[in-house]
Amino acid sequence: MSSLRAFNLHIRPARPADAGFAAEMVQLSMGGLAEYLFQGDPHSILSILRDLFMRDAGRFSLKITSLAEYEGRLFGALVSCEGARLNRLNIATLPHLLRRIGLRRAAGLGWRAGRLPGGQEAGRDEYYISNLGVHPLAQRQGIGSRLLAFAEQTARGLRLTKCSLIVGLYNLDAFRLYERLGYQVVETVRDRDEALGYHRMVKVI
């Protein structure tokens, strides 16, 4: 694929027809955490995430998802919101999970989520970048940086002065990008399962 650096990418709100792509990018951004939480193979997890986005299910909602597009092709996705909304979005996800995967599996997911290491996911005074994914064929071409800049612009519009995110310890490429763009580590959480360890990073904007 030719370089996308010079392309005038359009960042737009996600639409119902984008649920499959949004799910794919979120699964990519979650890495091993998705397998830990949902306890399934990648194909079944993708199906669950797609259904959640089609339902606008709290954390997995098209209403808080923005997409990077060029000439009708999608290259990246950003799921982000005010940190103060995060608890409400988590709660709003639960009934959709119950309908999609049943009580037993939803309870197991909730139990595993509750056992995740570390403290708060985001501060109430932060704009939280929950998920950022760039299609593998379009990585290292500035799309992630553009989506981060869009998130920071959105935060300023909401009169927030900080953006925050969590990046897995295994994800060195993403960590270097965030560090280069001014995000600083405020907490490092380690776990015996390497997929669950992470850095929490914050940028003053």
The reply to whether 23 falls in a domain is yes
**3-class DSSP state of 56:** coil
Range of the domain at 118: 10-204
Over residues 80-108, the pLDDT tens digits come to 999 999 999 999 999 999 999 999 999 99
Give CA–CA dist 11/2, Å, rounded.
Answer: 20
In sequence order, the β-bridge partners of residue 14 are none
In a domain, 117, yes or no: yes
| pLDDT for 119 | 85
More confident residue, 140 or 82: 82
Q: Check pLDDT > 60 for residue 158.
A: yes
Number of structural domains the chain divides into: 1
Give me the mean pLDDT over the 165-184 stretch.
96
**Range 68-86 average pLDDT:** 95
61-67-73 Cα angle (round to 5): 130
Q: What is the CATH number of the domain that holds 174?
A: 3.40.630.30
CA distances from 157 to 118, 121, 151 (A): 30, 22, 10
Domain assignment present for residue 170? The answer is yes
In a domain, 1, yes or no: no
Per-residue pLDDT at 193 exceeds 90: no
Band the pLDDT of 151: cuts 50, 70, 90.
Answer: very high
In a domain, 72, yes or no: yes
Asked if the structure places residue 43 within a domain, the reply is: yes
Give the tokens for residue 132: 């950022």
Q: Is it the case that residue 69 has pLDDT exceeding 90? A: yes
> pTM of the predicted model, to two decimals?
0.93
Are 45 and 111 a contacting pair, CB within 8 Å?
Answer: no
Q: Is residue 88 part of a domain?
A: yes
